[in-house]
Amino acid sequence: MLFSSLEFIFFFLPIVCIPYFIVKNTKIRNYILILASLFFYTFGEPKAVLLMLVSIVVNYGLALLIEKRKSAKKFFLTASILVNIGLLFWYKYTGFFVSSLNSLLGLSFEVPVIHLPIGISFFTFQAMSYVIDVYRGDTPVQKKLSNLMLYISFFPQLIAGPIIKYHDIDEQIENRQISLDSYVAGSKRFLIGLFKKVLIANNAGALWEAVLNSDMSSLSVAGAWLGAIAFSLQIYFDFSGYSDMAIGLGRIFGFRFLENFNYPYISRSIREFWRRWHISLSTWFKEYLYIPLGGSRKGNVRTYFNLLAVFLCTGIWHGASWNFVIWGIWHGFFSVIERLGLEKILKKCRVINHIYTLCVVVIGFVIFAITDFTQLGEYMGVMLFNSNHILVNDSFIFNLKENITLIGAAALFSMPVYKRLEGSIESNGILKTAEGVLFILLFIVTIAYLVSSAYNPFLYFRF
């Protein structure tokens, strides 16, 4: 069930909100959210819900054992990591591993087809972070199974993040404030995400698919770049829009989640880009992989190795395909050469460093988007090397004219324009009223679009 679906907006959410706000007891409210979350997940994954419940119970028990048996806590931590990584590997990477082994060694093992449970990359990482934090002493062990169940299964962030660390919301589970202000703020944030997802990401995705599925022999350089930019806009507004909706839903129910995106396309280096893009994943790898590997404390060579290891894992986390591995190494390579001195050179010209960053990111997203290496090679050949010897053609001009409003709106909302105006809007009654009217109109347009269009994908479901 997508947040951007009619059944979620008009049926599921109201049905959950009505009893939640009628009841005043936090414990009962938590049970309402647990039941709603289990139904939400079961709606999309009726079989995998048992897998998630087993994961919750196992990690709950192992964390208790870490707390009670200090002398063997490393053993129980190792067991938790192996269980979570094992689940992730089995469901997400077994087929990829076997097929890669067959290709590399000329073997003929049967490649198993295993259904990938939605959100497994997110809830296993949350479970691992909880157990690791208990092991480190960064958070007290949770003795109430229901509290841990709510943390891991909470439907706003269950299937697509943000990846919430337990110590960020542990106090909110039992003690949070529900108010009209938080409800209004959460609703606005949800609507902003809905607009981004439905009105920008979906249309950008349609443009990308039109370019990608066109005749490659007649694709121009400009057309290839337009398609690549369209996908870059789609994945940003798709995922950041979904994160906005998750954060907004959290606010509606009294939870405050940390930000997951901070206008990454205004970045002036790849290092800055990753401080702004998918922040919850970046900080997870920093806290639980980069720093334990030694971070930047053991000399330059070790730092570069650690960076490449983190970006390799980031690529693998996104999917069981070699293009994701290459995408991770691509970003790791540029992060390393920036540390080697490129970033200092780029700082001398703000225009060049911004163009450089966008080019690296956009090219990277083409690698990310196309899993077939033959198709990827053809697309890159046109985009970077003009293999068709066509710079501009009628197809590009047509697509540009048809989507110029979309591209302009996407460029505008990629910058913190609204964020900078929020303070002025809140303090001005006329502007606040105008904002409310605009939100209502955009909501009507969004719903009309959902009713009339069958195209409503969500890219991060496959991760």
What's the token pair of residue 270? Answer: 């790849």
Range 366-398 burial, b when 16+ CB lie within 10 A, else e: bbbbbeeeeebebbbebbeeebbebeeeebbee
What distance lies between CA 198 and its chain's CA centroid?
Answer: 16
Which helix H or strand E contains 146, and what residues bound it? helix 145-153
Asked whether the beta carbons of 15 and 33 are under 8 A apart, the reply is no
Positive or negative, the CA dihedral 377, 382, 386, 389 is positive
Active-site residue 354, yes or no? no
Exposed (0-12), middle (13-18) or buried (19+): which is 253, by Cβ within 10 Å?
A: buried
Contacts 24+ apart (CB under 8 A), 386-393: 386/221, 388/216, 388/217, 388/218, 388/219, 388/220, 388/221, 390/218, 390/219, 390/220, 390/221, 391/220, 391/221, 391/222, 392/220, 392/221, 392/222, 392/223, 393/218, 393/220, 393/222, 393/223
- How far is residue 37's CA from residue 56's CA, in Å, rounded to a whole number? 13
- How far is residue 203's CA from residue 231's CA, in Å, rounded to a whole number? 10
Smallest Cα–Cα separation from 60: which of 43, 71, 44, 76?
76
Quick count: other Cβ atoms within 10 Å of Cβ 33?
23
Q: Kindly report the CA angle at 68 between 67 and 72, in degrees rounded to 5?
A: 85
From 318, 331, 354, 389, active-site residue: 318
- How far is residue 40's CA from residue 58's CA, in Å, rounded to a whole number? 22
Give residues with Cβ within 8 angstroms of 440, minimum separation 6.
none
What's the token pair of residue 12? Answer: 């599921």
- How far is residue 303's CA from residue 292's CA, in Å, rounded to a whole number? 12
Residues forming the active site: 318
